[in-house]
Amino acid sequence: MPELPEIEVSRIGIKPYVEGQTVTKLEVRQPKLRWPVPDSIYDIEGQVIRSLKRRAKYLILETNIGYALIHFGMSGSLRILPESSVPGRHDHVDLHLSSGTVIRYNDPRRFGAWLWQAKQGKRLQVLENLGPEPLTDAFTSEYLFVKSRNRCTTIKEFIMNNSIVVGVGNIYASESLFMSKIHPKRQARKLTSEEIEIVVESIKVVLTTAIQQGGTTLKDYTQPNGKLGYFFQELQVYGRTGKPCLVCNNTLESIKIGQRNTVFCSHCQK
């Protein structure tokens, strides 16, 4: 599943191709995604894309009259292609631009989304109750420490909660906790302020590094230019169950936390 670094890499890659361009046509070949693509999204036709932003794992195309929100779901991706390119089986949405470029949305599992928010309309529920972005100044150790008090949940589930902080998915939560040397099953409320500070710093380092390296190569993910991400070469624990820890050589273990597979080192992480 694409996580925050993959979405941010897509935003960075696509931004130069869409900002300032007029949408000449929106072509929806498959409207049945996670939620039905609303008819109102066709209002984007004829509009100039003023900016491309990201909130959590949503890409947001801003126009004068509203916003198109794109979510990749479990297997979605965007590609930058010439208009003459022939769509494939899982190419569900094309955004045609005045430059002659098409931004093509591919989603084999169809669990992503294309939504529309008019500027004069109500705020979309999917953007409500979101925590701060992890790579901004709003995400501090002081903030996370206060939020963690009286939280009996595991620290891994806690940092994966979008109402606490957005975009820390399974891969990067596992990697951040390994870097922090903190066991993923520890209760959030029992971490000290010093440990919370280490967790926050580790999250920022891991996510920043992943973005710089183009994201993590998963079987469904490529960058907008078709290249693979290379952060997989940096993975310390995720996907390495049964292999030796790269720090202490202890065998990495795997457990389920919140229905998600969690790989950790019982020697390094306490």
Give the active site residues. 2-3, 57, 260
Residue 11 is assigned to a ligand binding site: no
Region for residue 218 given its phi and psi (left: phi exceeds 0; alpha: psi -120 to 50; beta: otherwise): beta
Among 214, 250, 252, 219, smallest CA distance to 234 is for: 214
DSSP code of residue 243: S
* Token pair belonging to 137: 């100044």
Cβ atoms of residues 227 and 220 within 8 Å: no
Contact partners, residue 156, CB within 8 Å, separation at least 6: 173, 174, 177, 184, 185, 257, 258, 260, 262
Residues near 212 by Cβ (< 8 Å), separated by ≥ 6? none
Q: d(Cα 164, Cα 129) in Å, to the nearest integer? A: 9
Tokens of 109: 């599992």
| 54 annotated as a binding-site residue | no
Reduce the DSSP state of residue 220 to 3 states and report it. coil
b/e code 41-70 from CB counts within 10 Å (16+ = b): bebbeebebeebebbbbbbbbbbeebbbbb
Annotated binding site: 90, 109, 151
Annotated binding site for DNA: 90, 109, 151
